[in-house]
Amino acid sequence: MADEVKNKIFEEMQAGEYFAILADETKDLSKKEQLSIAVCYLYDGNIHEEFLCIEELETLDAEGLSSKIINVMKDRVNFQNCIGQAYDGASVVSGKHAGVNAIIKDRVAPLANYIHCFNHRLNLVLVDVATSIQCVRDCLSLLQKLYVFVNCSNIHTKHIKMQTDRGLIVMELKQISNTRWACQASMLRTVCKRFMLLYELLSDVTENDSNSDRVIEARGLLYQFSPDFIKTLFAQRHIFEFTKNTSDLLQSPELDYSDALELLEVLQERLNDCRTDTTMQNHWSQAANVCHDLGMHDLEESCDMREKPRDAHSVRNNFQAI
């Protein structure tokens, strides 16, 4: 069956002539290194993006990776019609002189220009920027600890039951991943929507759980649910959701280069809009409402956008328009 599918893909590639190579390294559950290979081509007036195969890797150098790619398509396509290569930004594939893209271009496909995946570049930038801000880094770290705690068997069952008992749609916490931006956006959205329920869950564990280790861990998480954390949480949620929407659209098989550039320009405009005091005041107000419900009444003043001394550092300063 797999061979029949690949034969069909190769037939369409030959009929459509021009194509591009897409490849990425990955690991299976046994931690073996593999290379996933896909192709993008024009056929019958439409752009097709099709998965070809996964190849086990004996070596991880540029020579080994490029040989795998060439061997998969050797004698099945005309490499002279290959006009593009899309990989991540690792030096082993992106290297100008000795990377996979350079080897394939020199040996078999002289027209195959290398493009660093736009979505991967966006993810790298966002992760780097986010982790360079102390309060954001601390917030994401706490969310990861919350994920680990809630997803242990006993707590996870209670978390699901609390939602179903209230007639709520069950929302699961997602693990934070530096290589999948959608995970951060999903986690932030879930925690913001279920914050009071999660607070109640942790409080219940501290008061009623017979396991002392869980009680201590839950108490530690509750202690870190500070006003600064809540403000950062709500500010991040909206910013991350903007970037997630762009990330999702960049993965569309129908997307072309000009559309990708336009998407990134629109994202830049939306992020600039987020830096206005009016927008951020809305986020602080949401955070203030949550803190008020938790009895943190002093947060209302700390969320106020009134003028403060310039040398007074706060979470708000990290997001305020300049």
Per residue in 130-157, pLDDT (tens digit) is: 778 888 889 989 999 999 999 987 899 9
CA distance 192 to 198: 10
**Ramachandran bin of 45, using left for φ above 0, alpha for ψ from -120 to 50, beta for the remaining angles:** left
Within a 10 A sphere around the Cβ of 299, how many other Cβ atoms?
Answer: 22
Do both 139 and 277 map to the same domain? yes
- Assess if residue 289 is contained within a domain: yes
Burial of 16 (0-12, 13-18, 19+ CB in 10 A): middle
**Residue that the structure tokens 């801000």 belong to:** 133
Both tokens assigned to 252: 């569309």
Residue 207's pLDDT is 93
How many distinct structural domains can be found in the chain?
2
- Assess if residue 1 is contained within a domain: no
Give percent above pLDDT 70 in the chain.
Answer: 91
Do both 93 and 195 map to the same domain? no
Both tokens assigned to 142: 């706490």
Q: pTM for this structure? A: 0.67
CA distance 125 to 109: 30
Do both 249 and 270 map to the same domain? yes
Residue 160's pLDDT is 94
Do both 111 and 165 map to the same domain? no
Q: What is the mean predicted confidence (pLDDT) over 53-76?
A: 90
Render pLDDT for 287-322 as a digit per residue (tens, 0 to 9).
888 888 888 865 544 434 333 433 444 555 555 544
| Sign of torsion over alpha carbons 229, 231, 233, 235 | negative
Q: Which of 255, 200, 231 is nearest to 86 (CA)?
A: 255
Do both 228 and 111 map to the same domain? no
Q: Which of 152, 150, 190 is nearest to 171 (CA)?
A: 190
Where in the sequence is the domain holding 201, given as residue range(s)?
A: 121-294
Render pLDDT for 113-122 as a digit per residue (tens, 0 to 9).
998 877 778 7
Of 79-93, 160-174, 299-313, the range with the lowest mean pLDDT is 299-313
Give the three-class secondary structure for 37. strand
Do both 108 and 247 map to the same domain? no
Do both 111 and 131 map to the same domain? no
Q: What is the mean predicted confidence (pLDDT) over 51-58?
A: 90
- Assess if residue 303 is contained within a domain: no
Show which of 88, 116, 144 is a domain's final residue.
116
Render pLDDT for 16-33 as a digit per residue (tens, 0 to 9).
889 999 998 888 777 788
Do both 100 and 161 map to the same domain? no
Render pLDDT for 229-254 as a digit per residue (tens, 0 to 9).
998 898 888 888 888 888 788 777 77
Do both 130 and 245 map to the same domain? yes
Show which of 116, 145, 167 is a domain's final residue.
116
Do both 91 and 216 map to the same domain? no
Residue partners of 232: CB distance under 8 A and separation at least 6: 135, 136, 138, 139, 315, 318
Do both 207 and 60 map to the same domain? no
Q: How confident is the model at residue 167 (pLDDT cuts 50, 70, 90)?
A: very high
Render pLDDT for 32-49 as a digit per residue (tens, 0 to 9).
889 999 999 988 888 888
- Assess if residue 3 is contained within a domain: no
CA distance 205 to 146: 13
Do both 137 and 198 map to the same domain? yes
